[in-house]
């Protein structure tokens, strides 16, 4: 799903190709970034045909010229929004930078395989439909503010970045104080999500609940699916409330 730009133009779709002095990498992003335009101006990033907000993360890493714990932390600290970033290098090293979006990472040790998705529910459904259901695995916890590096041999290392604190509708950190929910509501209005608000209300989902689900990185299709599974819907909303610093 593209949050900005038409998905019919393939250059707006994930993953996005980037290059540093060490080689190529592919970046995918689950979430929404709100300050991509400001970063392009303040960081002097070049104009491209790509309209998707996620691409600013690629441009920042290219500007830093390297892909490692330090540069990924630097990028993760200057973007504003919800995210889990994954970056795969051409030597088969995977980096995961976890913001406040959900992440489920599993290790099938006997297969030498790591598998990840946004939520445990999605992971469970996927495993049940493929060969992985016959194999054992262990969960790999990844907390907000952590960066995970998995090399081609399956060796896992961890780094970290500074996490902003959100409180009573405002975001503090990195010298910024932003009207968080007001800016977010304005963003959703610009993106034309009003129709889904009306549909969700008939299922007992409030506008604030829907905003929380968007903040966690769920897209329209995922939310519409939840509407027909009441238990899953309430579970996801409750998890979102906890993740947004128990805003309620």
Q: What is the DSSP string of 139-190?
A: E----TTEEEEE-TT--EEEEE-PPPEEETTEEEETTEEEEHHHHHHHHHHH
Q: Is the pLDDT of residue 92 over 60?
A: yes
* 190-224: pLDDT as tens digits: 555 556 666 676 667 777 788 778 777 777 777 87
Give the N- to C-terminal CA distance of the chain in Å, as an integer.
28
Whether domain 10-103+142-160 has CATH 3.60.20.10: the reply is: yes
User: What is the pLDDT, as a whole number, of residue 168?
Assistant: 31
Q: How confident is the model at residue 186 (pLDDT cuts 50, 70, 90)?
A: low
Q: How confident is the model at residue 181 (pLDDT cuts 50, 70, 90)?
A: very low
Q: Radius of gyration (Cα) for the chain, nearest Å?
A: 18
User: What is the pLDDT, as a whole number, of residue 217?
Assistant: 74
User: What is the pLDDT, as a whole number, of residue 35?
Assistant: 87
Ranges of each domain in the chain: 10-103+142-160, 165-243
Q: Is the pLDDT of residue 245 over 60?
A: no
User: What is the pLDDT, as a whole number, of residue 248?
Assistant: 40
CA–CA separation, 93 vs 89, rounded Å?
Answer: 5
Q: Which residue has the higher pLDDT, 144 or 204?
A: 144
Burial of 222 (0-12, 13-18, 19+ CB in 10 A): middle
Q: How confident is the model at residue 185 (pLDDT cuts 50, 70, 90)?
A: low
CA–CA separation, 185 vs 216, rounded Å?
Answer: 14
* 12-46: pLDDT as tens digits: 889 999 999 999 999 999 988 888 888 999 999 99
User: What is the pLDDT, as a whole number, of residue 34?
Assistant: 82
């Amino acid at each position: 799903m593209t949050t900005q730009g038409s998905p019919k133009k393939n250059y707006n779709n994930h993953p996005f190709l980037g290059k540093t002095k060490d080689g190529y990498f592919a970046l995918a992003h689950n979430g929404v970034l709100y300050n991509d335009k400001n970063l392009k101006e303040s960081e002097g990033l070049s104009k491209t045909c790509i309209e998707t907000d996620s691409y600013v993360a690629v441009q920042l890493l290219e500007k830093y010229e390297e892909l490692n714990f330090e540069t990924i932390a630097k990028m993760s600290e200057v973007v504003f929004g919800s995210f889990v970033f994954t970056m795969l290098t051409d030597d088969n090293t995977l980096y995961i930078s976890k913001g406040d979006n959900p992440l489920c990472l599993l290790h099938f040790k006997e297969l030498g395989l790591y598998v990840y998705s946004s939520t445990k529910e999605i992971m469970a459904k996927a495993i049940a439909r493929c060969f992985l259901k016959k194999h054992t695995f262990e969960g790999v916890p990844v907390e907000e503010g952590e960066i995970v590096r998995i090399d081609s041999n399956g060796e896992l290392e961890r780094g970290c970045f500074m996490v902003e604190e959100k409180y009573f509708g405002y975001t503090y950190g990195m010298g910024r104080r932003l009207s968080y929910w007001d800016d977010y509501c304005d963003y959703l209005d610009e993106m034309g999500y009003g129709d889904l608000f009306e549909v969700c209300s008939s299922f007992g989902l409030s506008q604030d609940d829907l905003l929380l689900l968007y903040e966690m990185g769920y897209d329209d299709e995922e939310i519409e699916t939840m509407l027909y599974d009441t238990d899953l819907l309430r579970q996801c909303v409750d998890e979102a409330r906890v993740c947004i610093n128990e805003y309620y």
